[in-house]
Structure 1
Amino acid sequence: MAAAASANPGTAYKLLLSCPEGLPRSRVSVKFDPSIDRIPHPDASLEESIGEIWNQRLQQNPSLYNDTKFRYGGHALHRSDESNQEYCVSLHLGLTDYRTFVGTNLSPLWEKFLVPCEDDSVCCQHMSNPLGNGAIVETSDEKIIVLQRSNNVGESPGHYVFPGGHSEPQEVGILAHQNDEKDVAGLTERISDEMFDGIIREVVEETGVPASSLTEPILIGVSRRETNVRPAAFFYMRCNIDSSAITELYARAQDGYESTKLYAVSLKDLRDMSQRLPGCHLGGFALYELMRNALESS
């Protein structure tokens, strides 16, 4: 897929998956399997550094806590059935946790965990790679919601980002892989729903807008920040509230402490701000523009 270089390495990105027409949840499924989990690095000292770095971060910020996350291990495309030419996406997910993310992707030694390989899943097999999410939300007056990250957060402090975070395994009752899982189809369906429910939850918590004001999200792709090889799935949705009212709602947002300000900006203004977006979010913006171009040409 496409990649973008930059004078600022933190804004460089790679598009791992692009869905310009936008995929509803009916066309997104998951493959959830322990084989997609991270593979420990054969260098024992590098593996030990994960715990050492986590302990250092805990000393600096005792409020940090470990949490299970879905690990991104790639995707596959397939047709929905023989009579229907619409394609569907299967996201390949395993499990990881925040501690391992801090000790691999966010480690000063992160490049040592990479395997030289064109295959992205092999290249990143020793990485935690939790699948983040982000939402391009258009207001009723055709502005786009952008947040400025707090300086106290562990990732991209002070940067502009789209609302988002992570889908959560705990939301669907997953704490670890179960070898005796009776209802595999039901489990994967719940995880697939959590990909969509999770991004709605993040937008509501981070901006203060009610879920009832949002259209059903559509998946527009997956981007990866080249620095730290951080992957994130991006979704598009509209909000039936205008930008001035959203600014007022933001003051009461549940997770407002993660950001310091909400901006509702035009497409032109967003392009001007783009070099202050971390690479995975700049990739999200690129996916949004591909979606807009596809709509305009259809």
Structure 2
Amino acid sequence: MDPDITLLLQCPEPGGWSQDRVQAELSPDNNRRPLPKHEPTIAAAWDSRRRDKPWLFNGAKFRFHSARRRGELLALRLGLTCYRDYLGTNWSPEAPALQRRGLEDLGDSQAYMADPLGVGAMMFTADHSFVFLRRSQEVAEAAGQVDIPGGHPEPKEAVRDVPEESIRLDHLSPELVVRELFASILGEIRDEVNIPLESLSSPLLLGIVRNNRSAGRASAEFYVRCGLTSEQVRERYLLGGAEAHESTNIIFISQQDVLKMEEASDMWHELCPSAKGAVKLYSLAHPNLD
């Protein structure tokens, strides 16, 4: 296994988990444990980032704690976190020490990490290729690397009339959280690649991957079919979507080449960890998908 990733969870059933087979278990017990001596470091790291990139904002995120199967269902244990805490823990130079401390104190290497849940999509075109994006040098994470469409589900989309900085777990319902998880990956494809939602299939959750470059941050990886050909997708991408600034180029890789990418492609070494995890999960699941 590539050291950049850990496969945390793989769907055991053909085709992946559909939305109706995923549940959210929300609890404050799933939040990051604060470590008093490290909290000033988090604040200082955020202030430094904001000076360099003043457009950054501290959005609320879902924190991934763990997952468990309940018969044919998948239960995701989620809390709340924020982008500021993510940069100050998972991306801190002290992240390895925080993970060791978590193991020593609580038997959980991630206990003191923000671990916001990400999402990514293996998007399969009508002519049997997958879509990858070259990330811009302006993004805060993995600048210049090759990724799949993705981002984060947003707690603010699962509540109404609550300011983002005031969102609490008791404002959220498990059903709306799961809906946002599945809707968010379609929204990311729309905004990053400029693909209309009506051209996309319902997402299937392939599994969850930990990004070891960012101290174990988890990402939910999906499979989504697109009704457009590669050339049609390219034309849409070049028109520019709402988040066109996040990437500089679109790359199409055939299904056959994706399946042997880890062993035989220089592209593998250019991939972000979450993209590596998505490719790996797809390679394990593809006989039941295509």
Q: Identity over the aligned pairs, expressed in percent?
A: 33
For 1:29, which of 23, 28, 52 is the aligned residue?
23
Partner of 2:226: 239
Q: Which amino acid aligns with 1:157?
A: A
Per-residue deviation, 1:277? 1.1
Partner of 1:258: 246
Q: Which runs of 5+ in 1 are unaligned?
A: 7-11, 80-86
For 2:57, which of 65, 79, 82 is the aligned residue?
65
* 1:96 counterpart = 2:71: no
Per-residue deviation, 1:238? 0.5
Partner of 1:16: 8
Q: Distance in 2 between matches of 1:109 and 1:14?
A: 20
Partner of 2:177: 191
Partner of 1:82: none
Name the CA shift for 1:5/1:139 in 2 (closer, same or farther; >3 Å). Answer: closer
Q: Which amino acid aligns with 2:231?
A: S
SS at match of 1:224: strand
Deviates further, 108-117 or 166-175: 108-117
Per-residue deviation, 1:268? 4.5
Partner of 1:159: 145
SS at match of 2:11: strand
TM-score normalized with structure 1 length? 0.87
Deviations 1:119-175 (A, max 9, x none): x98210100000000000000000000011001111100111110000000001164
Alignment of 1:1-298 (within 5 A): 4-6=1-3, 12-19=4-11, 21=14, 22-42=16-36, 44=37, 46-79=38-71, 87-115=72-100, 117=103, 122-173=108-159, 175=164, 176-177=167-168, 179=170, 187-228=173-214, 229-251=216-238, 252-270=240-258, 271=261, 272=265, 273-293=267-287
SS at match of 1:124: coil
Name the CA shift for 1:293/1:206 in 2 (closer, same or farther; >3 Å). Answer: same
Per-residue deviation, 1:47? 2.2
Aligned residues: 273
- Deviation >2 Å, runs of 4+: 115-118, 267-270, 293-296
Q: Which amino acid aligns with 2:60?
A: T
Deviations 1:166-190 (A, max 9, x none): 00000011642255x6xx7xx1100
Per-residue deviation, 1:110? 1.4
Per-residue deviation, 1:293? 4.3
CA contact (8 A) 2:26 2:169 kept: no
SS at match of 2:249: strand
Q: Distance in 1 between matches of 2:131 and 2:253?
A: 7
* RMSD, aligned α-carbons: 1.9
Per-residue deviation, 1:294? 5.1
Q: Which amino acid aligns with 1:160?
A: V
CA contact (8 A) 1:149 1:157 kept: yes
CA contact (8 A) 1:74 1:121 kept: no
Q: Distance in 2 between matches of 1:14 and 1:41?
A: 25
Per-residue deviation, 1:295? 5.5
Q: Distance in 2 between matches of 1:154 and 1:95?
A: 21
Q: Distance in 1 between matches of 2:189 and 2:244?
A: 11
